[in-house]
């Protein structure tokens, strides 16, 4: 495998970051780091987050929550896959790139060659970095965009190695290519969709075992394939939930999280490993058969409105659990607002690294929260729907710059705008989430000053190319907030 170009670029451009801490410093300053990301797992799927209206047993994730900290107000950067993963990897909102709506199905990477990523940052700090799972940030096979089956032997570029900055990769690109297994920069096998989740779990466990006697700390990113479609629980899990196959698949996904924790414990790595467990967006209503689940008493979004693809919180408020026995108090809970983009600054803060001005523009460290310290409320978080509609969250207030869901839940964008024209819906939505978590009471007409304030704040964040303090940065493309038909 050739040396990725990014290593040459970062060696030149980011020399200041390549200063690993002295070996005599406490190991607590360089913990192992594991980030596990479920695919399409709504806030209400976990028992620990939705005890009264959640009917799917999730004992492994509940145990992780009990061992560490639950974040009750955590959000993905978008209500769909690719943009959320970009934000997690770079600390920057994906709407600043060429991807203004939807997801990628292949082609050139969304991550620019010179963009600092979490994996590059940690590699430069002496970590061994690995991804085991779903990439979905662009990929070329033998220099071509291929959206479906890929032949064994094809060489991968624009993937986790040369653009993400990882030392190793085992997994696949996206759901339409779930039969294509990749090792590092080459397609090595074809597997059945039902085999993907077990293989990812097994590979992750084997990776953890391989680090048992290593002195070099590791960063392991595990973006699971599930419970996203194809919904294919293995025979061992079929029927376990007593609800439907999606619920069975959630249970199997829960077990996969637990297998990694078990491996950390079995190999003496658990106490000083920072583990973050989350999801890329809410549950998919079509593939989960959400209406059927709700009839059976299970509400995948809990008390939130909407689901995957939507601008409402059901689309992007996600489970977020952090375990780090050496630091994080067990059984703790916080309502601090966080976004998946915040992971990058948090890890930089942990390692005492000053990030360059052109990196992690939308990332805020939550390390003090993990340490049990009081901090100021987070700067505003921007939400983005599958159709490219925006919302801004500041404190208890949320302004959505569209009528309806902005996604897949009725009223969808087309019908919603027709209702605006007919005088039946407002073009903007303002909610006070402190007493209206379900986003049912639109205050936009009653509070025009608050609408103007939030709308101006959104424009400033977009125009500055960043939502955090620092010099203004350029967006990669023109950004249209209004999107009126």
What is the residue-wise DSSP string for 138-175?
A: -BEETTB---S---TTPBEESSIIIII--SEEEEES-G
In a domain, 21, yes or no: no
190: enclosing H helix or E strand = strand 186-190
d(CA 172, CA 196): 9
What pLDDT score was predicted for residue 29?
74
One domain for residues 179 and 273: yes
397: enclosing H helix or E strand = strand 397-400
H helical segments located in 45-147: 59-67, 81-90, 118-124
Domain count of the chain?
Answer: 2
d(CA 374, CA 334): 10
CATH code of the domain in which 229 resides = 3.40.720.10
What pLDDT score was predicted for residue 15?
45
Task: Give SS3 for 218.
Answer: strand
What are 154's two structure tokens? Answer: 């094809």
In a domain, 481, yes or no: no
What are 177's two structure tokens? Answer: 């290519």
What pLDDT score was predicted for residue 8?
42
Could you say which DSSP state residue 111 is in? S
d(CA 75, CA 148): 30
In a domain, 173, yes or no: yes
Last residue of a domain, one of 370, 404, 421: 370
For the CA atoms of the chain, what is the radius of gyration?
Answer: 21
User: Which residues share a beta bridge with 77?
Assistant: none
One domain for residues 399 and 355: no
One domain for residues 283 and 389: no
Q: Apex CA 60: angle with CA 54 and CA 63, to 5°?
A: 90
Number of DSSP helices (H) and strands (E) in the chain, helices first: 13, 18
One domain for residues 113 and 139: yes
pTM: 0.95
In a domain, 11, yes or no: no
In a domain, 474, yes or no: no
One domain for residues 262 and 327: yes
Q: What is the mean pLDDT of each run of 10 residues along the chain (485 residues)?
A: 46 47 55 98 98 98 98 98 98 98 96 98 98 98 92 98 98 96 98 98 98 95 98 98 98 98 98 97 98 98 98 98 96 97 98 97 97 91 98 98 98 97 97 98 98 98 97 96 87
One domain for residues 329 and 407: no
What pLDDT score was predicted for residue 222?
98
One domain for residues 335 and 361: yes
One domain for residues 197 and 304: yes
* Nearest one of 252, 298, 321, 275 to 58, comparing CA atoms: 252
Domain that holds residue 433: 381-464
What pLDDT score was predicted for residue 484?
85
What are 427's two structure tokens? Answer: 């073009």
What pLDDT score was predicted for residue 21?
46
CATH code of the domain in which 406 resides = 3.30.1120.10
One domain for residues 155 and 265: yes
């Amino acid at each position: 495998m050739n040396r990725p170009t990014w290593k040459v670029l970062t060696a030149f451009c980011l020399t200041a970051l390549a200063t690993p801490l002295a070996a005599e410093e406490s190991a607590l300053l360089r913990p192992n780091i594991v980030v596990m990301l479920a695919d399409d797992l709504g806030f209400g799927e976990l028992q620990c987050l939705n005890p009264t209206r959640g009917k799917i047993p999730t004992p492994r994730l509940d145990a992780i929550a009990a061992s560490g900290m639950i974040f009750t107000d955590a959000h993905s950067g978008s209500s769909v896959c690719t943009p959320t993963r970009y934000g997690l990897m770079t600390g920057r909102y994906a709407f600043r790139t060429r991807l203004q709506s939807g997801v990628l199905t292949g082609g050139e990477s969304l991550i620019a060659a010179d963009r600092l990523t979490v994996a590059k940052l940690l590699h430069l700090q002496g970590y061994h970095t690995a991804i085991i799972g779903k990439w979905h940030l662009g990929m070329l096979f033998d220099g071509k965009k291929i959206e479906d089956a890929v032949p064994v032997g094809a060489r991968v570029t624009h993937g986790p190695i040369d653009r993400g900055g990882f030392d190793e990769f085992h997994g696949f690109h996206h759901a339409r290519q779930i039969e294509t297994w990749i090792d590092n920069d080459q397609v090595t096998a074809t597997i059945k969709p039902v085999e993907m989740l077990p293989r990812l779990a097994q590979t992750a466990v084997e990776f953890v075992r391989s680090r048992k006697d290593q002195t070099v700390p590791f960063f392991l990113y595990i973006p699971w394939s599930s419970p996203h479609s194809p919904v294919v629980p293995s025979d061992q899990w079929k029927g376990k939930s007593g609800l439907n196959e999606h619920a069975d698949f959630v249970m199997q996904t829960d077990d996969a999280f637990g297998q990694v924790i078990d491996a950390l414990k079995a190999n003496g790595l658990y106490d000083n490993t920072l583990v973050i467990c989350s999801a890329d967006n809410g549950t998919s209503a079509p593939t989960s058969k959400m209406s059927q689940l709700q009839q059976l008493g299970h509400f995948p979004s809990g008390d939130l409105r909407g689901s995957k693809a939507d601008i409402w919180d059901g689309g992007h408020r996600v489970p977020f659990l952090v375990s780090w026995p050496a630091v994080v108090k067990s059984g703790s809970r916080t309502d601090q607002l966080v976004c998946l983009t915040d992971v990058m600054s948090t890890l930089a803060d942990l390692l005492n690294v000053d990030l360059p001005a052109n990196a992690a523009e939308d990332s805020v460290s939550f390390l003090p929260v993990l340490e049990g310290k009081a901090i100021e409320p987070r700067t505003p978080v921007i939400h983005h729907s599958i159709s490219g509609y925006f919302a801004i969250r500041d404190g208890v207030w949320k302004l959505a710059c569209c009528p309806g869901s902005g996604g897949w839940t009725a009223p969808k964008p087309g019908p919603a705008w027709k209702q605006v024209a007919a005088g039946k819906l407002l073009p903007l939505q303002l909610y006070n989430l402190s007493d209206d978590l379900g986003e049912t009471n639109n205050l936009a007409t009653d509070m025009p000053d608050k609408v103007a304030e939030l709308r101006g704040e959104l424009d400033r964040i977009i125009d500055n190319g960043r939502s955090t303090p620092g010099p203004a940065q350029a967006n990669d493309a023109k950004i249209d907030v209004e999107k009126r038909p």
